Structure 1
């Protein structure tokens, strides 16, 4: 799948897509097609779940125009970044006396300018779609993906602008440390309130580790963390939307409920009932180690059964005591007989003398 259609929702006979009109329930779909079990042979790189129709409003012609205009800007910025690196007249460190900017400062100005120009192009052609990015190990991906997909269709994420989600399947040459990427799509990632609302749910109701919000335009252009332009690959970082303390507080609340056996998936953070004591269904993190179960009383036993058991126990204890007394008495008699046997030869010897 090329970068140009990596974010396109497959159509036709691609069976790894679930929509509300699918013939199978979502739970059955998620059980049948697990990302850890579906091997990507080049034809099935993603598993998709859609909440409804595609809400993106651009046309194929718009996408071509976006690619052409933004590619020119990206090439221009990349060349300028390379020139800055090799320009000896630009100091490595800034100079307050002369007002000279450092190489880093000059680079960052160019990168900010490029991001602003990209946003202008996106708004011009309504190419505003993008996604929250998350990563998970193969060991946990099935549980995390099921949690997200269920939340999107029947849980708190259903009340957000998110309309679609996908998860990467397992490559044939996956190493033990392989990470699966999960994308949660929005029609307009420049809508800060919309992506922040979803962020709170992803943290509070799922405990996910989030990696930022990426525009589909950036995916189209191939901008990632290693791109030579140095342009950040996400338009929103976590800290751009919420401060670290608030992020940590939401995650702590999730794990506290997880440890207490409560469910936070059924409701959004704003609507959650503090008295809700339903058991946790699924989570993004590993549960605590199971505690040793205490022996439970037989719920089918009657009071008479308990009395009979107690009586039998008392009888058994009494029999044990009687046996112990009898054994002790036999040992005592045996010792006495032994002493008498030893005394008899002495008496006979005395008579002979």
Structure 2
């Protein structure tokens, strides 16, 4: 099977679910489990395509040209890396004293430049589609794949720009520690906002084990982790993590600085003033008779006091 076939769904392929499928997604996932479907050369993948997702970005007029230029560049870089390896005039290690660059440093520079050139080719020909790569062990792949596919069709991922998913079926013979690869397709691997927003859902909502983001151009020119050019075949998730953490730290620092600034501008609290003693208020419900009774009692008390005073003197 060619590399191009890996990104193409065959016509009338029964291991592909879409809105036109006869059975519900739940039944499809239960019937065609990746741990049970063996690849005999005709069914390497199980696919799920959600409804109402624009699929035009899957094809590009410049796809063939991008692949041709990418293959040519890959050949040149591979040859250059081999030259560096066999060039005895290049020291094995860099030297701080002489400033001479070592084989590793020169090789990495060539590979980094090639990565940028491949990006330019993809953007120039508008062939930027790619995928998030996920891996799952044989014992857990059915549950993880079901979770991913369901989320893409009717869950959190349905609200993103992700437009298709696939999972590798099982090898024809028993393979110890076999890992099933899963791909979640996105329209533009160079759109960091989209890539990062999807990554957040994959991690926070599903807890998936992500590997990295890979361009379809890389797949179709045969660039993988074992390619002799040594070019990095994926954008590692750590790069997006680092950016997320950097943005988070900046936001937290900004909030903290703002709080301190606001507090420093607040005037010092004035000393609390002693509360004035409450004034005696007239009771609006007090009757006139009560006033008269109180007056009579007061006069009677004064009279008693006057009588007591002579008695005290007589003693």
SS at match of 1:136: strand
Shift of 1:22: 1.8
1:205 matched to which residue of 2? 205
Cα root mean square deviation, aligned? 1.9
Is the deviation greater in 156-165 or in 16-25? 16-25
Q: Which runs of 5+ in 2 are unaligned?
A: 246-315
SS in 1 for 2:188: coil
Residue 74 (str. 1) matches residue 85 (str. 2): no
How far did residue 244 of structure 1 move? Answer: 10
In 1, the alpha carbon distance for the partners of 2:198 and 2:41 equals 31
- Residue 188 (structure 1) aligns with: 188
What do the CA deviations read for 1:61-115 (whole angstroms, capped 9, x no partner)? 5222112111111000000000101111111111123221111110111111111
Higher-Rg structure is 2
CA distance in 2 between counterparts of 1:194 and 1:64 reads 25
| Structure-1 residue corresponding to 2:141 | 141
Aligned-partner SS, 2:183: strand
**So what's the TM-score if we normalise by structure 1?**
0.67
Q: In the alignment, which residue of structure 1 is the partner of 2:47?
A: 48
Query: Contact 1:133 / 1:181 at 8 angstroms: preserved in 2?
Result: yes
CA distance in 2, matches of 1:131, 1:2: 18
> Unaligned regions of 5+ residues in structure 1, if any?
247-353
Q: Shift of the alpha carbon at 1:223?
A: 1.1
- Compared with structure 1, are the counterparts of its residues 205 and 220 closer, same or farther at alpha carbon in structure 2 (3 Å cutoff)? same
Give the secondary-structure state (helix, strand or coil) at the position aligned to 2:117.
helix
TM-score (normalizing by structure 2): 0.74
What does residue 26 of structure 1 align with?
25
Following superposition of structure 1 onto structure 2, how do residues 160-309 of structure 1 map, counting pairs within 5 Å?
160-234=160-234, 236-243=235-242
Off by >4 Å, runs of 4+ in structure 1: none
Distance 2:78 2:46 in 1: 34
Tell me how many residue pairs correspond in the alignment: 245
Partners of 1:58 and 1:212 in 2: how far apart?
22
Residue of structure 2 in register with 1:96 after alignment: 96
